[in-house]
A and B are shown apart, each in its own frame.
Chain A
Amino acid sequence: MKTRARLPRLVACGATLTLALSLSACGDGNGGASADDGKIHVLVYGDASNKVEKRIVDTFNKTSDVKVVLDTIPGADYQQKLQTIINTPQAPDVFFNWGGGSIKPFVKAGLLMPLDDFIKKNPDLENKFLPSVFNNAVVDGKPYGVPMRGTQPVLLFHNKAVLAKAGVQPPKTWDELLDAVKKLKDEGVTPIALGGGDVWPTQMWFQYLYDRIAGPELFAKAVGGDKSAWESADSKKALDMIRELVDTGAFGKNYDSVKYTNGGSVQLVAGNKAGFELMGSWYYSQQLTDHKEFAEKDLGYGTFPTVEGGKGDPANIAGNTNNYYSVMKKTKHPEAVAEFLKLMYSDEFVKAQLEIGNLPTTTNTDEFIETAGNADYSRFQYDLVADAPSFQLSWDQAYPQKASSDMHKAIQQFFNGQLDTDGFIKAMQALPTE
């Protein structure tokens, strides 16, 4: 009996051990700059784009006496960690951010260096960038950031095959979209895929409809502290249109259980189960990675439909304008930092960004755009951004970071019917604006 019992136990122990070993995840954090060591510490969000940042730093270090050290904080924790170190001796000299509300509290706390002096000495630091993008890092009339990655406007993507089967053309106007929704529903597919579980994809619908109906002024007023903007007739009209769209079943019934971040909504479109998805321009490379054949053959893209009678310019866009480098006031090497920032509009920078699929927002991007992986797509985006009278920064980034959680709650609750129009307006008015 003893020997018979031993074998299973041995197997059991072995299996347990193997599992335990294979499951132990490894993380290597190299975030966090050290205090002054005669170098410039540049802190960036850790992801695939880091190879370009690394290359630019290497280029800079070849000629400069003051060396730059690149520190990264991996992914999702970036903003939290930045907030905890920024007012300590461990703070970097230069750091990555999203412009807008993501730096406003730092400006208010007097931590950031306005860049006007740099620009006075070298006007190219402003002139070489598309204005609609550069302006998103201007706080209280002063520039605080230099664009340092690619622009990511939100576009309305579609599945060509699904649309063709339902006899639908990519919609140019809101009414055409409503019509398309109806036809797609009759076909038995989800008209619009939405990763409501992440909430920020839901927010994209709010951003665009508010801009189309009221123009960028309404939101600018609200984020500037005039909370009456949310009660205006235009605001209510936008909310009514969202309500109508949701209630017609445009997003199906289970959108709040779907996520973009785990590939759920991406697969809905690629698997011919949905017609549209509103998403940032990174969607193309996401589909290319996840569903190569679909991305090359059937993935279509276009701008957000126009709304008849709306005050917003139909050429306006919304999304992530770009990421920015901001400079800390306490840096001991301002001249070297100014030199480093110059590289953000160099030819090498533009080519390197295009190579990895990012679309830089410098004026010289135009010359190199044909070298991009998908030149048509890059050209479409670049023209869109260059011609846009206004580029609405994503709401959760335009507001101070501390408002984003409550904003997401309100957006999700209005969308799924837990909050009515008045409830949503009240919730938005309760958000802190500085």
Chain B
Amino acid sequence: MTTKITSARPAAGPRKGSRRRPPASSATTVGRPGFAWALPAAVFFALFAIVPLIMVAVLSFMSWDGLSSPEFVGTDNWSRLMDDPVMLTSIWLTLLLTVLGVALQTPLSILLGVWAAGHQRNRAVLSVIYFIPLLLSATAVSVLWRALLDPNFGIPAEASWLFGDGNLFGEQATAIGVLAFVSTWQFTPFHTLIYQGAARAIPQVLYQAAEIDGAGRYRQFFHITLPQLRNSMITSMILMIVGGLTTFETVLILTQGGPGTDTTISAYYMYDKAFKSFDYGTGSAIALVLVVAATIISLIVVRVSGYDKMRSSMEGVS
């Protein structure tokens, strides 16, 4: 991979060369792809995303237990949901877990990713070990940690100085901590991969120049690596936020939303209502809230971060 980058640079590098090319001249001769080109994808998207979404929206105004035929109940589901304290806390819990996820995973994966982009001895082998959690299904990971954190026979029993009586799943704060930790354990490798690729793409000349100017490793990291990773950071954070908002299996297997409703996040509450309490109307309403919230948050992130008009940050290099 490293050889590829070095050999590719001279060809694409000089900006003067690219400027000489007439802008988008090929488009006029080939013809712009029409709507017909997008049709297969559009139909696919409509069938598997838009149609179900509309059905969920309709169902949120109905009462349905899966047995009898659905009945329109107006805004009953919605008004009940507005007054439901569990719903409100579930939104806060979802946001909290998302923020915790971003705050824990970002620094870790940047450090690991930048490290993995280097050429150290044993790097490849260690990288694979770090990568393992990503290969496990969320279910397997959750079952594993539930067993590892058993208060009588797991890690807490051996390290009572840290865990006290080991009631990790019996109290809200610790249960949330475990959820955040397990997601971090599982998803950091993925984001590490993103940062590894991005760190590899940073031109070596920047570091060489910095070295000549006398910049140490820390200054190089903070003044070259981090700024150059900006776009990857935005990508990775958006993925983390979307992932955080849709977290489900981890909660389902680790805590079942418990103790009580202390870790009932919105996605789990939706499952609880729809598939455990057979109240598909309320479940659909929660699902709709989730979709709207996730869309709004994604839009905000895209706007604030400038993802929509993202450009190469390597300008001026050469």
A and B are interacting partners: yes
- Residue on B nearest A82 in the bound complex, by CB: B66
Q: Judging by beta carbons under 8 Å apart, are A86 and B67 in contact?
A: yes
Residues of A within 8 A of B137 (CB): 23, 25
- Residue on B nearest A273 in the bound complex, by CB: B152
In the bound complex, CA of A253 to CA of B279 (Å): 35
Whether A3 is near chain B, meaning CB under 8 Å from some CB there, is no
Q: 1/0 per position for B28-50, CB-CB distance to A under 8 A?
A: 00000000000000000000000
Q: Judging by beta carbons under 8 Å apart, are A199 and B258 in contact?
A: yes
- 8 Å CB contacts to B: which residues of A378-434? 401-406, 409, 412-413, 416, 418-419
Whether B103 is near chain A, meaning CB under 8 Å from some CB there, is no
Contact of A16 among B128, B151, B258 (CB under 8 A): B128
Contact of A20 among B3, B67, B135 (CB under 8 A): B135
Q: Judging by beta carbons under 8 Å apart, are A409 and B278 in contact?
A: no
Interface residues on B, range: 35 or more
Residues of A within 8 A of B6 (CB): none
Contact of B124 among A8, A264, A403, A404 (CB under 8 A): A8
> Which of B88-96, B204-212, B269-277, B291-299 is near enough to bind chain A?
B269-277
Whether A109 is near chain B, meaning CB under 8 Å from some CB there, is yes
- 8 Å CB contacts to B: which residues of A47-101? 80, 83-84, 86-87
Please give the distance in Å from A243's CB to the nearest CB on chain B. Answer: 16
Q: Judging by beta carbons under 8 Å apart, are A404 and B276 in contact?
A: yes
Whether B169 is near chain A, meaning CB under 8 Å from some CB there, is yes
Residues of A within 8 A of B166 (CB): 254, 257
Whether A255 is near chain B, meaning CB under 8 Å from some CB there, is yes
- Residue on A nearest B122 in the bound complex, by CB: A8
Q: 1/0 per position for B113-149, CB-CB distance to A under 8 A?
A: 0000001001111011001100111001001001101
Q: Judging by beta carbons under 8 Å apart, are A268 and B128 in contact?
A: no
Query: Do A83 and B67 form a contact, CB below 8 Å, given A253-B167, A416-B170?
Result: yes
Q: Judging by beta carbons under 8 Å apart, are A264 and B150 in contact?
A: yes
Q: 1/0 per position for B56-70, CB-CB distance to A under 8 A?
A: 000000000111100
Q: Judging by beta carbons under 8 Å apart, are B165 and A416 in contact?
A: no
Please give the distance in Å from A210's CB to the nearest CB on chain B. Answer: 21
Whether B240 is near chain A, meaning CB under 8 Å from some CB there, is no
Q: Judging by beta carbons under 8 Å apart, are B276 and A416 in contact?
A: no
Q: Judging by beta carbons under 8 Å apart, are A258 and B152 in contact?
A: yes
Residues of B within 8 A of A86 (CB): 67
Whether B260 is near chain A, meaning CB under 8 Å from some CB there, is yes
Whether A19 is near chain B, meaning CB under 8 Å from some CB there, is yes
Whether A26 is near chain B, meaning CB under 8 Å from some CB there, is no
Whether A32 is near chain B, meaning CB under 8 Å from some CB there, is no
Please give the distance in Å from B67's CB to the nearest CB on chain A. Answer: 5
Whether B14 is near chain A, meaning CB under 8 Å from some CB there, is no
Query: Do A262 and B124 form a contact, CB below 8 Å, given A87-B67, A106-B67, A254-B165?
Result: no
Residues of B within 8 A of A16 (CB): 128, 131, 135
Contact of A256 among B122, B135, B169 (CB under 8 A): B169
In the bound complex, CA of A401 to CA of B136 (Å): 32
Q: Judging by beta carbons under 8 Å apart, are B260 and A402 in contact?
A: no
- Residue on A nearest B178 in the bound complex, by CB: A257
In the bound complex, CA of A206 to CA of B276 (Å): 22
Residues of A within 8 A of B150 (CB): 257-259, 262, 264
**Residue among A256, A262, A413 with most chain B CB within 10 A:** A256
Whether A15 is near chain B, meaning CB under 8 Å from some CB there, is yes
Residues of B within 8 A of A80 (CB): 275
Whether B161 is near chain A, meaning CB under 8 Å from some CB there, is no
In the bound complex, CA of A196 to CA of B140 (Å): 21
In the bound complex, CA of A264 to CA of B170 (Å): 15
- 8 Å CB contacts to B: which residues of A9-43? 9, 11-12, 15-16, 19-20, 23, 25
In the bound complex, CA of A159 to CA of B280 (Å): 45
In the bound complex, CA of A402 to CA of B65 (Å): 9
Query: Do A196 and B279 form a contact, CB below 8 Å, given A12-B127, A19-B135, A402-B65?
Result: no
Whether A130 is near chain B, meaning CB under 8 Å from some CB there, is no
Whether B168 is near chain A, meaning CB under 8 Å from some CB there, is yes
Please give the distance in Å from B252's CB to the nearest CB on chain A. Answer: 11
Whether B107 is near chain A, meaning CB under 8 Å from some CB there, is no
Residues of A within 8 A of B278 (CB): 83, 401-402
Please give the distance in Å from B126's CB to the nearest CB on chain A. Answer: 9
Q: Judging by beta carbons under 8 Å apart, are A412 and B66 in contact?
A: no
- Residue on B nearest A190 in the bound complex, by CB: B152
In the bound complex, CA of A268 to CA of B124 (Å): 42
Please give the distance in Å from A113's CB to the nearest CB on chain B. Answer: 16
Residues of A within 8 A of B258 (CB): 197, 199, 256, 409, 412
Q: Judging by beta carbons under 8 Å apart, are B66 and A84 in contact?
A: yes
In the bound complex, CA of A9 to CA of B1 (Å): 11
Residues of A within 8 A of B135 (CB): 16, 19-20, 23
In the bound complex, CA of A199 to CA of B67 (Å): 27
Whether B306 is near chain A, meaning CB under 8 Å from some CB there, is no
In the bound complex, CA of A111 to CA of B152 (Å): 47
Residues of B within 8 A of A254 (CB): 151-152, 165-167, 170
Residues of B within 8 A of A19 (CB): 132, 135
Residues of B within 8 A of A46 (CB): none
Please give the distance in Å from A90's CB to the nearest CB on chain B. Answer: 13
Whether B153 is near chain A, meaning CB under 8 Å from some CB there, is yes
Query: Do A109 and B260 form a contact, CB below 8 Å, given A8-B123, A257-B151, A406-B277?
Result: no
Please give the distance in Å from B211's CB to the nearest CB on chain A. Answer: 20
Contact of B259 among A258, A401, A412 (CB under 8 A): A412
Q: Judging by beta carbons under 8 Å apart, are A267 and B152 in contact?
A: yes
In the bound complex, CA of A273 to CA of B124 (Å): 44
Whether B261 is near chain A, meaning CB under 8 Å from some CB there, is yes
Whether A233 is near chain B, meaning CB under 8 Å from some CB there, is no
In the bound complex, CA of A15 to CA of B125 (Å): 9
Contact of B170 among A8, A15, A255, A402 (CB under 8 A): A255
Residue positions of B touching A, CB distance < 8 A: 3, 65-68, 119, 122-125, 127-128, 131-132, 135-137, 140, 143, 146-147, 149-153, 165-170, 256, 258-261, 272, 275-279
Apart from A199-B258, A254-B165, A257-B167, 13 more pairs, CB < 8 Å: A11-B124, A83-B278, A106-B67, A253-B170, A254-B151, A257-B151, A257-B166, A267-B153, A402-B276, A405-B272, A406-B277, A409-B260, A418-B260
Q: List 28 A-B contacts (CB under 8 A).
A: A2-B3, A8-B122, A12-B125, A15-B128, A16-B131, A23-B136, A83-B66, A86-B67, A106-B67, A109-B67, A199-B256, A199-B258, A252-B165, A254-B152, A257-B150, A257-B170, A259-B150, A264-B150, A271-B153, A403-B277, A405-B272, A406-B277, A409-B258, A409-B261, A412-B259, A413-B259, A413-B260, A419-B260
Q: Report the 8 A-B pairs with minimum CB-CB distance, sorted nearest first.
A: A256-B170, A8-B124, A254-B167, A257-B169, A254-B151, A413-B260, A405-B276, A12-B128
